[in-house]
């Protein structure tokens, strides 16, 4: 097996041979087997999708603006696909110490906070946080939620459905084709910023807060 440095050196040697007009060595059968194995391994690594354990769900209210602060909520979910393949499970927050209360710590609607020991029913837990923020501060709030789950989350952005209702009414009024409502619906589809994408972007040097801000403004 070649190291990357050896591989580079080999390629330089081959280029030098080619430039000098010398014949290039042909690959032996055993070399071919090694190369094929390496290519299979690379393909496996590329196919291995990064699965986030959590989902940070952001829902914006209808008065979304790029100038004024606007309302919305952030909630955290345990991603179903990670475990049993069932639906997502809600991650609550202790209303006394603000620690996250994992679905594992809830049984029959009864929860125990692992941090402060608070015990009680789910309705007494915090399910989502409500905010009224500017786009820039929404990015910060999303970042904080993302950090709370150790950066192991996909980010989902949802919009208030009234935009579609408005488009629908308009559609009926104008008696137009289905184009306008289709466009409105497409534009309101939840945006997803996957952990895999986040890792790729930040690995390429992107500032994560800047990426979240771009998501909010998208
Ligand atoms: Zn607590």
Statement: the pTM of the whole predicted model exceeds 0.85:
no
* Integer Rg of the chain from CA: 26
Cα 202 to ligand 1 centroid, rounded to whole Å: 32
Q: Is residue 160 domain-shared with residue 62, that is, in the same domain?
A: yes
Q: Mean of the pLDDT values across residues 90-112?
A: 91
Give the distance (Å) from ligand 1 centre to CA of residue 101.
8
d(C-alpha 21, C-alpha 4), whole Å: 26
Q: Are residues 40 and 108 in the same domain?
A: no
Residues 22 and 94 in one domain: no
Burial of 201 (0-12, 13-18, 19+ CB in 10 A): middle
Distance 95 CA to ligand 1 centre (A): 7
Residues 65 and 109 occupy one common structural domain: yes
14 and 70 belong to one structural domain:
no
Question: How many domains, in total, are found in the chain?
Answer: 2
Within this chain, do residues 92 and 168 fall inside the same structural domain, yes or no?
yes
Nearest to 158 by CA among 81, 103, 52, 77: 77
Domain holding 152, by residue range, is 54-217
Asked which of 66-70, 182-186, 213-217 is least confident by mean pLDDT, the reply is 182-186
User: Are 162 and 69 in the same domain?
Assistant: yes
Tell whether 9 and 76 lie within a shared domain.
no
User: Do 31 and 67 lie in a common domain?
Assistant: no
- Contact present, 67 and 160 (Cβ < 8 Å): no
Q: pLDDT digits over 140-149, tens only?
A: 999 999 999 9
Residue whose structure tokens are 């998501």: 215
| Token pair belonging to 132 | 């009224």
The per-residue pLDDT for range 6-55, each reduced to its tens digit, is 888 888 888 888 888 887 777 777 887 888 888 888 777 766 677 899 99
* 173 Cα distance to chain centroid: 38
Q: Which of 91, 78, 163, 156 minimizes the C-alpha distance to 129? A: 91
Bridge partners for 126 per DSSP: 93
Residues 82 and 186 in one domain: yes
Q: Is the pLDDT of residue 190 over 80?
A: no
d(CA 102, ligand 1 centre) in Å: 11
């Amino acid at each position: 097996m070649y190291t990357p440095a050896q591989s580079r050196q080999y390629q330089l040697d081959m280029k030098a041979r080619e430039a000098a007009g010398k014949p290039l060595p042909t690959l032996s059968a055993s070399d071919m087997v090694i190369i094929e194995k390496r290519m299979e391994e690379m393909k496996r690594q590329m196919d291995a999708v990064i699965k986030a354990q959590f989902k940070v769900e952001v829902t914006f209210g209808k008065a979304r603006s790029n100038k004024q602060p606007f309302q919305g909520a952030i909630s955290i979910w345990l991603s179903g696909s990670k475990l049993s393949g069932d639906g997502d499970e809600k991650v609550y927050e202790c209303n006394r110490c603000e620690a996250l209360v994992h679905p594992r710590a809830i049984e029959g609607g009864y929860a125990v906070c692992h941090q402060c020991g608070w015990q009680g029913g789910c309705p007494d837990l915090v399910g989502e946080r409500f905010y009224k923020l500017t786009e820039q501060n929404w990015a910060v709030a999303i970042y904080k939620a993302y950090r709370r789950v150790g950066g192991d989350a996909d980010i989902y952005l949802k919009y208030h459905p009234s935009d579609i209702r408005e488009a629908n009414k308009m559609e009926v009024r104008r008696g137009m084709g289905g184009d306008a409502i289709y466009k409105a619906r497409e534009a309101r589809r939840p945006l997803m910023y996957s952990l895999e994408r986040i890792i790729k972007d930040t690995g390429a040097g992107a500032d994560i807060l800047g990426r979240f801000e771009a998501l909010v403004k998208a």
